[in-house]
Structure 1
Amino acid sequence: MAAYVFTERWHLPHAPDRVAAVLGDVEGYAAWWPQVRAVVALGPDAADVVARSTLPYELRLHLHARVREPDLLAVDVDGDLRGEARFALTPEAAVGGGPGCRVDYHQEVDLAGRPGRVPTPLVRLADPLLRWNHHRMMEGCRRGLLGCLAGPDAGPDAGPGAA
């Protein structure tokens, strides 16, 4: 198995409570996050998710909420990946004033399931490609989140700082 750590940092022109409300609603991810293909809620704290970024494979994940605080959303991940993922939210002023939010994403996972059947040396050779694919997935999250927070008439690139 290969261990991966992924991090992202975004600055969004929206208050942390609004960002937390959207990120905390995993069942709604497929409506605004293009790489999330399907979500099946299994209760208030668990869901099965199918995700696919740019590379031609789907990941089937089981997410279980571990922390649901106003400034921290954390899930345990099982399925094709095993580990944890979390969004930490910090209030900050938006560019031009008004409420804003710094989002720090952190994910630590091991390959399991179908991708985990690939021998480790091959996975290591593909490491830059897998990291690029994950970054594309998270860029889809950032853009979709901005569009969702901007309102129903806004596109995925709406809002200040969306580029």
Structure 2
Amino acid sequence: MTRHEMRFAGLWRAPLPPGTMYAKLADIARYPGWWPAFRSVRQTGERECEVVIRSMLPYELTVRLRPLVDDPVERVLEAELEGDIAGKVRWHVEGDGGHGCVASFAEHVSVRKAALRRWMPLARPFFHLNHAVAMRSGQHGVVAGAEPLGRRR
């Protein structure tokens, strides 16, 4: 891994049916409505969009996102990222023994935004913290407003 590369991974546990979680994660256009770090999503092609992301640190990332895998049967999503960061992101949603679901997340990116590249050696822990805050807000947002498991009509 080079000094400009970063890896992130995590799990979201939610009291939602796996299919509901998968559908929310697959619908990128609606992210700004429930995920505060996603400031905007703009369709740029049939299967591409441009997203603007900002968490707690005073910078925005503009990224073109192109889906590579969209498998509702296995509940796997994978996309290529290009822009201020470049790389891949992957989600896999599984059932959690009747208690809801677990969505696992993995991202491997290279920072391309010049201002951020300069600060990488010193700021890497802050970038990880910023990412963790963004992910936490997403986990809270995806559950808010969704009908919990066992309350479906």
TM-score of the aligned structures, taking structure 1 as reference length: 0.83
Which of residues 124, 128, 138 is equivalent to 1:127? 124
- Count residues in correspondence: 145
Say whether the 8 Å CA contact 1:13–1:94 is kept in structure 2: no
Which residue of structure 1 aligns with residue 25 of structure 2?
Answer: 23
* 1:132-147 equivalent positions in 2, closer than 5 A: 132-147=129-144
**Structure-2 change in CA distance of 1:115 and 1:91 (3 Å):** farther
Distance 1:139 1:44 in 2: 30
Distance 1:50 1:56 in 2: 13
Distance 1:35 1:148 in 2: 17
Query: How far 1:117 moved relative to its partner?
Result: 4.5
SS of the equivalent of 1:126 reads helix
Counting aligned pairs with the same residue, the percent is 29
Distance 1:148 1:41 in 2: 24
RMSD of the alignment, in Å? 1.7
Which of residues 36, 50, 66 is equivalent to 1:34? 36
Q: Which amino acid aligns with 2:63?
A: L
Say whether the 8 Å CA contact 1:12–1:94 is kept in structure 2: no
Which residue of structure 1 aligns with residue 112 of structure 2?
Answer: 112
Say whether the 8 Å CA contact 2:4–2:117 is kept in structure 1: no
Where does the alignment leave 5 or more consecutive residues of structure 2 unmatched? Answer: none
Say whether the 8 Å CA contact 1:80–1:116 is kept in structure 2: no
Which residue of structure 2 aligns with residue 156 of structure 1?
Answer: none
1:13 partnered with 2:10: no
1:20-67 CA-to-partner distances (Å, cap 9, x unmatched) read: 111111111111111111110123421100010000000001000000
Q: Which amino acid aligns with 2:89?
A: A
1:84 partnered with 2:81: no
TM-score of the aligned structures, taking structure 2 as reference length: 0.88
